[in-house]
Structure 1
Amino acid sequence: MKGLLHFILSHSIFIAFCTAALSLQTLQLLSLTVNNYLLAFIFFAAVSGYNAYWMISRFTFNPPPSFLYFLQKNRRSFIVVLLAVTGMFFCISNLRLVWYNIIIAIVLLGLYAIPVMPFKQLHFTRRAGFVKTILLAFTWAIVTTLIPLQVSILEMEHAALLIFINRFLFMLMLCVIFDKRDVQVDKIRGLQSLATIVKPRVLNYLMGFIFIGYALVSYSMKWYELTMAQVAALIVTGLITITVYAASFKKRGYLFYYFLVDGLMFLSALLTGLAGVVR
């Protein structure tokens, strides 16, 4: 059981499940029809994207003697990527997708991956700093709002736009938690993030401002599609996230980040789903 849990967490299956859960949350908050093939597509896309990113990162920072040796050593991740891509194509065959959102997400993920690519000409991007953190949070917002809704950001109604902003701020808080964890490793590798370029006290203030913005946007949604119970669920999730951020200042292990922190996404979807029953 322990080995299975490690496989699920280390091969980004759990975080992909959480991605699909947030996408489902978007549809439920707006009382829209859920397309299971679309959620499955998002799940498989997250699995393939994350595993490909980590494989590129390993190849860059731990150069193997040969590419074949690298593939053999990372064969599980490679197989997971192949299976996930197969799953994506199966879902695509049963969907009529709005491709510009997906293309934008792919481009943004490509930009995010550039600093870990094994090309010296691109190493200047490792000094991107806060741009890296914001880029990832923005990509998450697109993947879990625009793609499920299948609309462009210019076509979003007020309620959907508020959910997009709310999701961006929520994911920004999670990204900061991971950035803070990776400060020492990032410094060794020459990578910059929001947590490496500001002092811990400043980072605390930033997290406070992000949470306030998140809470205000959450509350404002009561004038649109959301019930007060759903608004409360979003704010409670934000409070729990801030608590987890405070807890991250102590040395934490693998499960804390890849189960608890990532699991906050699923928790958010679960709480708003339960709150949706209260009408």
Structure 2
Amino acid sequence: MVIWHTNTVLGLDYPVRTYCSFVFAATICSYNFHWWLTPTTNEHSHRLIWGGRHRNLQLALGLLGLAGAAWFVWPLRMHWMALGVSIVLTALYTAPKLPHRPFLFLRKIAIAKTLFLALVWTYVTSVMPIWIAHHPLDANAWIFLLHRFFFTYASCILFDERDLESDKREGIRSLITFLPEHTRRNLYYACLIVAAGCAAMLYPFAPGILVSIMIVPVLLLAALTGTAKRNHSDYLYYFGLDGLVMLAPVLHLLWLWL
């Protein structure tokens, strides 16, 4: 949905079905390997408890996703540089989970973990489609990319704050574990303001209703901030906060249908 939103707003033309199939398979692969490598330390997370009981399933899905990604990446092989960057970024995010000395060292220096995650989301859903479609990186494209990145980064900050204690126990450092609370709060709200501002700047390149649609998830995320800090429910985070990333594309699609 997010890739579709990028394609529609910027008018991109490239093999969309093949690319989306690759992204779907690669996401299944990276997500399951990431959590397969994550120890079950948070007793209050039903998702982590469930994952700890089904590690064989996570491994199987990871391997299945890897096979699917390898299958769909072949028709896109002429874009090997763009694809290679995505693989490196994804690997850098998961590498600190590996229990080997070179990767354990990354836990101490990978303070940009949250930045990496937001960057991967933005790169895969927005930058790489622009690159593959040979679309010029004009002012409107840059503004759209900044909107996508800062909104995603704000959401990632909430996830990192929730996982603050578990990251400290695992020895995983991030910018969020390093910064004091008031600085994290200022950074979070600054990201929301920039995300909303960039969406507004897309007018008149994008219709006013579309600009409003892009601002709605930013406002909802700001409204849910207090609840998210008090309630660490998996349902709130993985359906509510994660769902907000997809809300603008869904509203955009409904607007086109109506």
Task: Assess same fold via TM > 0.5.
Answer: yes
Offset from partner CA, 1:70-115 (integer Å, 9 cap, x none): xx96221122122222322343355565221211111112222232
TM-fit CA distance, 1:128: 3.5
**CA deviation string 1:200-237 (max 9, x = no partner):** 2222211111111111111111142x111111111111
User: Could you say which residue in structure 1 is the equivalent of 2:69?
Assistant: 88
Corresponding residue number in structure 2 for 1:174: 155
Q: How does 1:34-53 map to 2 (within 5 A)?
A: 35-53=16-34
Distance in 2 (alpha carbons) for counterparts of 1:91 and 1:152: 17
Inter-partner Cα distance in structure 2 for 1:265 and 1:169? 11
Residue aligning to 2:117: 136
Which amino acid counterpart does residue 211 of structure 2 have in structure 1? V
Could you say if the C-alpha distance between residues 94 and 123 of structure 1 is closer, same or farther in structure 2, counting changes exceeding 3 Å? closer
Could you tell me how far 1:156 is from its partner in structure 2?
Answer: 1.9
Map of 1:248 onto structure 2: 228
- Matched position secondary structure for 1:191: coil
Q: TM-score, normalised by structure 1?
A: 0.79
Greater Cα shift, 244-253 or 131-140? 244-253
Deviation at 1:272, TM superposition (A): 2.7
Select 1:106's aligned residue among 82, 87, 96: 87
CA separation of 1:121/1:156 partners in 2, compared to 1, >3 Å: closer, same or farther?
A: same
Q: Within 5 Å, give how 1:140-179 maps onto structure 2.
A: 140-151=121-132, 155-179=136-160
- Secondary structure (helix, strand or coil) at the match of 1:192 reads coil
Q: Note if contact 2:13-2:133 (Cα within 8 Å) is conserved in structure 1.
A: no
Cα displacement string for residues 100-141 of structure 1 (whole angstroms, at most 9, x for unaligned residues): 121111111222223222123443322346411112111111
Which ranges of 4 or more aligned residues in structure 1 deviate by more than 6 Å?
none
5+ residue gaps, structure 2, are 41-52
Distance 2:241 2:54 in 1: 28
Tell me which residue corresponds to 2:10: 30
TM-score scaled by structure 2? 0.85
Distance in 2, matches of 1:268 and 1:188, equals 36
Residue among 230, 234, 243 paired with 2:210: 230
- Give the equivalent residue in structure 1 for 2:197: 216
TM-superposed CA distance for 1:40, in Å, is: 1.7
Give distance in 1, aligned partners of 2:129 and 2:112. 25
For 1:269 and 1:154, the matched residues in 2 are separated by: 20
- The corresponding residue for 2:253 is 273
Indicate the SS of the match to 1:241: helix
Return 5+ residue gaps in structure 1 as ranges: 1-20, 60-71
Structure 2 CA distance for partners of 1:96 and 1:118, relative to 1, 3 Å: closer
> Could you give the per-residue CA deviations for residues 6-33 of structure 1, whole angstroms, max 9, x where no partner exists?
xxxxxxxxxxxxxxx1111100112334
Residues 23 and 145 in structure 1, CA contact (< 8 A), matched pair in contact too: yes
State the one-letter code of the partner of 2:246: F
Partner of residue 260 from structure 1, selected from 240, 244, 254:
240
Q: 1:242 is aligned with what amino acid?
A: A
**In structure 1, the residue corresponding to 2:112 is in which secondary structure?**
helix
- What is the CA-CA distance between 1:148 and the residue it aligns to? 2.4
